[in-house]
Every structure is written in structure tokens, then in C-alpha cells.
Structure 1
Amino acid sequence: MDASVLTDLPAWQRLGGAYTAEEIAQQPRMWTALADLLDDAQARIDRFLGDALRQPGQLVIFTGAGSSGFIAEMVADHINAQWPAEVRAVHTTSLLTHPALYLRRDRPTLLVSFGRSGSSPESVAAVELVRDRVDDARFLDITCNADGELARRGHGRSDTLSLLMPPPSCDRAFAMTSSLSSMLLAALSVFDSAPWPQRVQRLRSLASHGERALQAWDAAVGALAQATYSRVIYLGSGPLEALAREAALKVLELTAGQVLALANTPLGFRHGPKSTLNGDTLVVMLRSAQPLSRRYEQDLLNELRGDGIAARVISVGPDGDDRADGDFVLDAPTLDDSWLAPLWLLMPQCYALQRSAALGMTPDNPFPDGTVNRVVQGVTIHSHG
């Protein structure tokens, strides 16, 4: 299959990927819409949070499962570094199995849940778990579905704030794309310590840069996806480690596991995972904006390119003097890595879409047999009493 332009929806309709293509392409518009939405909701958000983040005894848990859990990881450390409160990421899939490791009855806890549908069994059960096991518990639900269980159950409760994303971000396709980037940027905007107007302006700046990235990278990503790499390795450090995991998951999902995708850190990769390299491997480094991190990344890029074992080694990130031919770079705004993550995610999303189509699959539903579902099924929630 020849690569199709991301915005050629009739072509993607024929390929069974119109929803995925449209939802990737609409992300800059969603970020602009999110800026307007958050501007309108500022007073309600500020009233709900109060001074909780300034209290050292306050615990804030960002949570979700799968891609939503990766949002939590991309956000938590960045926010934790700014406030006296303890902020951490815990996937619902760990919170439900080992609640005693994370919850204390006498510790005020704010559970921030991410959910595209808001109806996954783990998301709903995590809220009930925290409500049952913590005396002073509150809940901020960041979700894309006004009709989902999180929004429905939280409606009218004084201990809960539901923050709904722009309606088109409730992705219809199998894979989370615009839902993920919208919820990620919403959390950063709500919890960052920068003045509110500055946070909202960041969203508008990222939207502008996102439009440029999609236009600049479209053809090159399509061409890259025509190469028959059977392994893809994404590498990232700090918040970009979770971004690498999300990027790898997109390839696994949209190719139904036909392409093996792994994630690691630039420093961790040498500690065993480097053994996965062979002549059929594509390595993608997700570049940090931090100078120290970039030096470590560049060391590994030089090493991997010099080894000549992997079929191809490229990077995605801010433009700089260390760019190489074939890298996906952008003159990015001066922001921390968590804020820039949605920009760099555009390339892996487009690659997964194009690779799926190149394999003759239907990206909107890569599992027509129902073995994996858009909203997780088959989960039994067991009593924690």
C-alpha cells in the first residue's frame, strides 16, 4: 500500500482508518478548544483545588489504565516538583491489586482519574476504592465522555469535579489519540504552578506548532512506514519514558502485535534491552528539551549509529545542532518535556497508523475478532475488604 496523506479522509475510509486519521489530525484544534474550555472553567477549578497543593500532608494520585496510566506518568513528576503536596502516578491496575501500598485512611487524598470513555471497570472501581479506604478523599475526573460512568457517578457530588474534554476528543477509533493528548494537556494546565494566562497560552502555542509538525512530517512518516521493520524501539527519559511506552503501545495496538514494539530509557537500554537489536529494527529516540538529558541521548544515538546493528536510528524532538538526516525535528516552544510530549507523540501516532495500513490491517479496528476492545472487557473487580 502506498502511504496516504493524513488529511485524505476518503482514502483512509477505504483503508478502514478514517476515524484514526481524523482524530490524529484534529489534535491541534482540540488543544485550542481546550484552552477556551479551561478559561471558562478556571474559577470552578480554583474553588475545588483550594490550597490543597500547598499542603505537605496532601497526597495527589494521578491514575488510569493503559494509555491513561501513561498520561499519569507524564504529568506526575513535573507537578510534584512544583508543590509541597506529594504527587505521584499509580496505574489503576496497581491501585486495585495493592491498595495498602498507596492509600492511608488518615491522609487527605485527591484522586485524579483519566478516562476516554470513563467507563472502564478499573477506573470506576478505583474511585470507589479510594472513597471507601480514605476518610478525606476527593476526586477530579478528567474524561472525554459526558455519558461515561465517571461523569455520571460524580455528577452533583461535592467531593468530585468532572472536567470534560472537547466532545470530538472522545475518539471513535480503537486507539487513544486526541483523547490522550487533550487529557494530558488538561492535567498540566490545571495543576501547573505558572500563572493561569500563561498556561492557557501554552495550549495555543502548542496547537500552532502541532499544525506545523503534522504538515511537515506527514510524507516522511508515510514513507518510513513502508519499510518492513518487524521491531520498533522507542527511547525516552524523564516524562518522555512514559511517552515512549505510549508510542510503543500504539504500534502494538494498531498492528495487532505483528510489529513488536518496546520502550526504554537511553541509559537503561544498555542494561540488557539493547540485545533486542537486529537488522530489522527501527530505533526512535524521543528527544528531551533539557541540555543534560540531550547529552546522554546523543551518546546513545552515536553509539547505535556507529554499531550499525539496527536497520535505522532516528530521533523526534526539538531542533538543534545535533540533528541528523531523517530526524523529525521542530522549532519547539521553550517548555518542559511534559508540556512538549504531545508534540512529539504526533509522529509515533502517525507512524502506527501508516504501519497498520501498510500491513493491510484496518486501523480503526485492528482486532475485528474482539480479542482486544476499545473499552476493556472481561475484568472482574474483587473485594478489597
Structure 2
Amino acid sequence: MTPAARVQTAIELLDVVIAAARAKGAPADRILADWFKANRFAGSKDRRAIRELVFAAIRACGPVPDTGRAAMLRLAEVDTSIVPLFDGSNYGAAPVAEGEAVAEGGVAPAWLADRLAASDIAGPEAEALLGRAPLDLRVNSLKTDRATLKLPEAAQSTDAPHGLRLAPGTPVEQWDAYRDGLIEVQDTGSQIACLAVAAQPGETVIDLCAGGGGKTLALAASMDNLGRLIASDTDRNRLSRLMPRAERAGATNIEARLLNPQREADALEDLLGTTDAVLVDAPCSGTGTWRRNPEARWRLDEAELDRLVKIQAYLLDLAAKLVRPGGRVIYVTCSLLDEEGAGQFDGFLSRHPGWQPAAMDLPAGLARGKGTRLTPFHDGTDGFFIACAGRP
């Protein structure tokens, strides 16, 4: 493919991404993967170039663009080397017309940028949300340790005690160390959030929103496979991925439990009031993960944010019922909005008299309210709010 044809293809894919964002359909990654699978004529260099153009254009636009062409013209304002590729050549993009519409720049749609600014995420802090994330690994301490692990490529240690960092796109899933369960792909911020649980061997711990189990596996390693670790979720597909991952990692103390939405307590009834720690890694807006999913900011609206805030409060209240006297609830969200972070945690404490914020020994982050916040700008991680509360 010529460079001009790559630009036109990226424009057409952006049209699909924009439509999917408006309809809350497939994410950009999946859209591109499906297109590449169906269009084998595009070689590896073409695929890489098209992917970079699509995601660069997404990052360059604040609000949802009207069209893929408007998004690419916005990118051309940022990267002037693209302008000559609107050359009207065969399979290429048509020349730019005078006064043609260009998408608006910015960090996010105006309402969302305002919410972030109100949470002290503005300027460089906000701009860092749209950078490109590195590839972080967690060394599996059940099988090896960071000091002696040998990998095909040199990796940099991160603030997490078992964390390593590589360049984006490093093919770690092809490595023996990955196939043998010596490493897991996990952002350093997510690893630090697991440290807040302070899970100990012999404890009973619940990962209430386990999903595919990335944090569950880290907790199993912290517990040295001793004690009970219950991984629960309402998403059958995501939860089904956990046990094969656990087998590869050598994690043997994990129990998976599928929950029914709004009836979660039924499946956890035997654990009510008995658990040492409950991790609530709640569904959220994902504002801290835009480096990986930049079009996510086009999918969020105020009604969806309100819905997520209510779910977070509901899950925190459920977690409080599960914890024994003297136990703890750890609240984690990959959002940088205070209504999902510090404000949400304050609401929990106000609803549960006697519960107190508990100190956390974390290697990164800054205080935010009664918890800790990690940001891409300050910590080089995904964005997280992390807090811990102890039951009297």
C-alpha cells in the first residue's frame, strides 16, 4: 500500500470506530483486528502504519469527530507530514478542500474535561492521559523472582516490587517465560493496587470484581497459595479465562464464583462476615486507562457515569457485609474522577459509621482525599484511585 492509501484506509476505519463509539459497539482494537483479518493484502508494515494513524487521530481529537476524514485532518494539523498524503492518488485520500471541516482537539469532550479539571486533572496531568502506555509485566513470585529472571529483551524495573517495563508492542506472549507462567502482563499501577490489599498467607480474601483475574493472580502470589482466594464476577466469559491462567501461573488457592447481578450476596452467603479482606475493583469510567483505550472517552456520557457511580456504591456496601470484624475493604478504581474515587470512598465511610481509613504502604502515588491516586503524569502508570477501610 502507498502512504496515501494507508491514510485513506485509516479514514475509513475511523468512520467505523466513530460509529461504534456513538453506539457503544466494538472497541477500536477489535475493529482493526477484524479489518486486518479480512484484508490479507495489507502487509505487516501496512497494518502497523494504519494502526498508528488510527490511534494517533483518535488521540488528536477531543470530542467525537463528525467523520473519520475530519479526525485525520485534525491529526494533519498536529503532524504536518500527513498533509501531502491527501493527494487524490489511486486509493488515496482526496485533496483537502478550502474550508473543509476539521475535528476539534482537546483532551476529551467539554463536559468530561471539566469533570477532570474539577478533580485536579488538567494541563500536563490531563495531556498525559493520551500518551502511549508502555508494556508492564509482573514477575510471578510463585515460580521465580525479578532479580534472577532472564528474558529475551532487557526490561526496566518499575516501582512495583515484581514489576518490569518493556517497549509497547513487545511480543511477550511468544516468550517461553510467558507460556511457562513466569510473567503476566499487568500495569504497574494495577500491581500497586494489589499491594494495598496486603493479602497474607492463610487469609480469606475475595476479589469481588475479578474479571479475567489479573489482580487475582497477583493476590495468589502474595498469599503464597496459602488460604482461600475467591474470585467472583457477574461476567461468565471474563471469569472463564481465569482458571487456565491460574493453572499456567501455578496458583492453586483460587476459587471462582459466578455471581448473578443484583443477587451477588446469594453466591457469597457462606462468606458473610467472615472475610479478612475484600478487594472491590469496581466497574468505572476508565478515565485512567485512556492511554490504552483512547476512544473510551467518546463512549462515556453523564448518564453512564451516574450509573457507574451507583454500581460502585452498591459493591462497596456489599463488601462491607462480607468482611469480619477487624477486616478490611480495599477500593480500587481506574478512574481519575473524584466522584468515582475520593468522593465515592467518603460516601462509603459516611454510610458505615465506625469504619476508618487504613494506612497503605504503597511505593508510588499522591494522597487524594482519604486514599492514594496514581496518574500517568506523576507515576508513569495507568490512573488509579486506591483506598482501604477497616471494619471496627
TM-score by length of 1: 0.28
Task: Report which structure shows greater RCO (CA 8 Å, sep ≥6).
Answer: 1
- Which structure is larger by alpha-carbon Rg, 1 or 2? 2
TM-score by length of 2: 0.28
Q: Which structure has greater helix proportion? A: 1
